[in-house]
Amino acid sequence: MTIKDIEGEIKKEGSKEIERINKIADNNVKIIEEAIEKHAKNEAEKVRKESENKAELMRRQIIADANIRGKQMIETRKNKLIDQVFDNTKMQILGSEDKEKKEILQVLAETGKKSIKDAEIIVDKKYANLLKGAKSQDLGDFGVVLQSKDGKVKVVNTLNTRLKQMETDLRPRVAEILFA
């Protein structure tokens, strides 16, 4: 065998080895590319699902917030209507005839007398002519104030005071009538 033959043989075996290494490298590259592609698809699917979940959560939050705001708006409107009923009642009493006002003042005075014996009755100056025997003062409200002679015990039976006291009990009933 000559050197050229040996060189040819070495080149031939080298080419085969290079070819074998290239096949292995190509195969490894293919495996790596497939693994990367699979991983990328998995990650993309994971991101897609997370995005869908986040979008669904946001959608639910938006709907829940809208429902809450809607309910708050409804409750606010209902409360305004109930307040309007009490305001209208007050205006109706204040706008009633003197005869009716006199009767109301007498009832308020009698109710207060049950708590204080021999009470001094005080009425606002505007309504002094409607209740005989009452002392007139500037109460700034329709109704009567009763106080003991010594001034220690006082019952305030004015329109605003009575409406505030009654409102707590009457508010649910008014709501039921209005919104049933």
Where do the domains of the chain lie?
1-95, 97-179
pLDDT at 179: 87
Q: What is the pLDDT of residue 92?
A: 93
**Residue 5 pLDDT:** 82
CATH code for the structural domain at 97-179: 3.30.2320.30
The per-residue pLDDT for 153 is 84
Structure tokens at 139: 């109460």
pLDDT digits (tens, 9 = 90+) for 9-55: 888 888 888 999 989 988 999 999 999 999 999 999 999 999 999 99
d(CA 112, CA 156): 8
Over range 63-80, report the average pLDDT. Answer: 96
Per-residue pLDDT at 1 exceeds 90: no
What is the distance between the alpha carbons of residues 62 and 35, in angstroms, rounded to a whole number?
Answer: 40
Instruction: Identify the pLDDT of residue 86.
Output: 92
Reported as a single tens digit per residue, the pLDDT across 85-140 is 999 999 999 999 999 999 999 998 888 888 888 889 999 999 989 988 888 889 88
Q: Which two tokens stand for residue 143?
A: 């109704």
* Residue 115, CA distances (Å) to 8, 67, 157 in order: 131, 49, 11
Q: How confident is the model over 133-157, as a mean pLDDT?
A: 88
Q: Which pLDDT score is estimated for 51?
A: 94
